[in-house]
Chains A and B, each alone.
Chain A
Amino acid sequence: MNVIVYLIPVAFGLGALGLGAFLWSVNSDQYDDLDGAAHRILDQTDKPL
Chain B
Amino acid sequence: MSDLFLTSDPGCPSGLAPPETSLASDFSAFVRQKDGLNTITLSVRGTKCGGCLSKIERTLKALNGVQSARMNLSNGKLSITWVSPSDANQIAESVRALGYGVSAFSEDKTAQSVKSEERGLLISMGVAAFALANIMLLSVSVWGGHGEMGEDTRQALHAISGLIAFPVLGFSGRHFFKSAFTALRHGHANMDVPISLALVLAFGVSIWETATGGAHAYFDASVMLLFFLLIGRFLDARLRRQAHAAAHDLAALQNRSVQRQRSGGLIEAVRADAIAQGDIILLAAGERAVVDLKITDGVSGIDESLVTGESLPRIIGRGETLYAGSLNLDHPLQGQALGSTSDSLLSEIGAMLEAGEQKKARYRQIADKAVALYVPFVHATAALAFLAWLSLGASIHQAVLVAVSTLIITCPCALALAAPVAQVVAAGQLFRHGIYLRSGDALERLAEVDHLVLDKTGTLTLGTPALISEHGDELYLAAQLARASRHPLSRALVLAAGPGPLAERTTEHAGLGLEGYIDGKWFRLGAADWVGAPESEAIGGPSLWFAGEGTPPTHFRFEDQLHADAVQSLEALKQLGLDIEILSGDRRDAVAQVARRLSIQDWRATVTPNGKAARLEALQKAGKHVLMVGDGLNDAGALALAHASLAPGGAMDISQSASDAVYAGGLSSIRTVLSVSKRTKSLMLQNFGLAAAYNCIAVPIAVTGHVTPLIAAIAMSASSLIVTLNALRLNRRGSE
Partners in one complex: yes
- Which of A18, A32, A39 makes the CB contact (< 8 A) with B49? A39
Interface residue SS majority, chain A = helix
- A8 close to B127 (CB less than 8 A): no
Q: Measuring CB to CB, which residues of chain B are less than 8 angstroms from any residue of chain A?
A: 49-50, 53-54, 58, 71-75, 119, 122-123, 126-127, 130, 133-134, 137-138, 153, 160, 164
- Which of B58, B122, B138, B160 makes the CB contact (< 8 A) with A26? B122
The 4 A-B residue pairs with the shortest CB-CB distance in the complex, in nearest-first order: A39-B50, A36-B73, A19-B130, A33-B72
Contacts of B73 in A (CB 8 A): 33, 35-36, 39
**21 A–B contact pairs at CB < 8 A?**
A8-B138, A11-B134, A15-B133, A22-B126, A22-B130, A23-B123, A26-B122, A33-B73, A33-B74, A35-B74, A36-B53, A36-B72, A38-B50, A39-B49, A39-B53, A39-B73, A40-B50, A42-B50, A43-B50, A43-B54, A45-B58
- A43 close to B122 (CB less than 8 A): no
Contacts of A8 in B (CB 8 A): 138, 160
Nearest CB of chain A from residue B439's CB, rounded to whole Å: 22
Contacts of B126 in A (CB 8 A): 19, 22-23, 26
- Given A15-B133, A32-B74, A33-B72: A26 in contact with B123 (beta carbons within 8 A): yes
Interface contacts beyond A26-B122, A32-B74: sample of 18 additional A-B pairs, CB < 8 Å, sorted by A: A8-B138, A11-B137, A12-B134, A15-B134, A22-B126, A22-B130, A23-B123, A23-B126, A26-B119, A26-B126, A32-B72, A33-B75, A36-B50, A36-B73, A36-B74, A39-B73, A43-B53, A43-B54
Tell me if A34 counts as interface (CB < 8 A to partner B): yes
Nearest CB of chain B from residue A34's CB, rounded to whole Å: 6
- A19 close to B127 (CB less than 8 A): yes
Q: Which chain A residues numbered 6 to 49 have a C-beta less than 8 Å away from chain B?
A: 8, 11-12, 15-16, 18-19, 22-23, 26, 31-36, 38-40, 42-43, 45
Contacts of A18 in B (CB 8 A): 130
Nearest CB of chain A from residue B145's CB, rounded to whole Å: 10
Tell me if A1 counts as interface (CB < 8 A to partner B): yes
Contacts of A26 in B (CB 8 A): 119, 122-123, 126
Contacts of B119 in A (CB 8 A): 26
Nearest-neighbor residue (CB-CB) of B153 within chain A: A1
Nearest CB of chain B from residue A18's CB, rounded to whole Å: 7
Nearest-neighbor residue (CB-CB) of B75 within chain A: A33
Nearest CB of chain A from residue B542's CB, rounded to whole Å: 45
- Which of B53, B71, B130, B160 makes the CB contact (< 8 A) with A15? B130
Nearest CB of chain B from residue A1's CB, rounded to whole Å: 7
Q: Measuring CB to CB, which residues of chain A are less than 8 angstroms from any residue of chain B?
A: 1, 8, 11-12, 15-16, 18-19, 22-23, 26, 31-36, 38-40, 42-43, 45
A5 to B126, CA, bound (A): 26
Contacts of A22 in B (CB 8 A): 126, 130
Contacts of B130 in A (CB 8 A): 15-16, 18-19, 22
Nearest-neighbor residue (CB-CB) of B50 within chain A: A39
A23 to B72, CA, bound (A): 21
Contacts of B123 in A (CB 8 A): 23, 26
Contacts of A42 in B (CB 8 A): 50
Nearest-neighbor residue (CB-CB) of B127 within chain A: A19
Contacts of A19 in B (CB 8 A): 126-127, 130
Nearest CB of chain B from residue A32's CB, rounded to whole Å: 6
A24 to B305, CA, bound (A): 50
Nearest CB of chain A from residue B100's CB, rounded to whole Å: 15
A23 to B171, CA, bound (A): 14
- Given A43-B50, A45-B54: A36 in contact with B71 (beta carbons within 8 A): yes
Contacts of B137 in A (CB 8 A): 11
**Central interface residue in B72, B138, B160, by most chain A CB within 10 Å:** B72
Contacts of A1 in B (CB 8 A): 153
A38 to B160, CA, bound (A): 41
Contacts of B58 in A (CB 8 A): 45
A16 to B49, CA, bound (A): 37
Contacts of A45 in B (CB 8 A): 54, 58
A42 to B49, CA, bound (A): 11
Nearest-neighbor residue (CB-CB) of A22 within chain B: B126
Nearest-neighbor residue (CB-CB) of B160 within chain A: A8
Nearest-neighbor residue (CB-CB) of A7 within chain B: B137
Contacts of B50 in A (CB 8 A): 36, 38-40, 42-43
A8 to B164, CA, bound (A): 12
- B74 close to A40 (CB less than 8 A): no
Contacts of B54 in A (CB 8 A): 43, 45
Nearest CB of chain B from residue A17's CB, rounded to whole Å: 10
Contacts of B75 in A (CB 8 A): 33
Nearest CB of chain B from residue A3's CB, rounded to whole Å: 12
A32 to B41, CA, bound (A): 15
Nearest-neighbor residue (CB-CB) of B73 within chain A: A36
A12 to B137, CA, bound (A): 10
Contacts of A34 in B (CB 8 A): 74
Nearest-neighbor residue (CB-CB) of B150 within chain A: A1
A18 to B126, CA, bound (A): 10
A11 to B134, CA, bound (A): 8
Nearest-neighbor residue (CB-CB) of B120 within chain A: A26
A11 to B74, CA, bound (A): 37
Contacts of B71 in A (CB 8 A): 36
A33 to B78, CA, bound (A): 11
Contacts of B127 in A (CB 8 A): 19
A42 to B54, CA, bound (A): 10
A42 to B58, CA, bound (A): 15
Nearest-neighbor residue (CB-CB) of B122 within chain A: A26
Contacts of B53 in A (CB 8 A): 36, 39-40, 43
Nearest CB of chain B from residue A40's CB, rounded to whole Å: 7
**Central interface residue in A16, A35, A38, A42, by most chain B CB within 10 Å:** A35
A31 to B130, CA, bound (A): 19
Contacts of A39 in B (CB 8 A): 49-50, 53, 73
A23 to B54, CA, bound (A): 29
A19 to B133, CA, bound (A): 11
Contacts of B133 in A (CB 8 A): 15
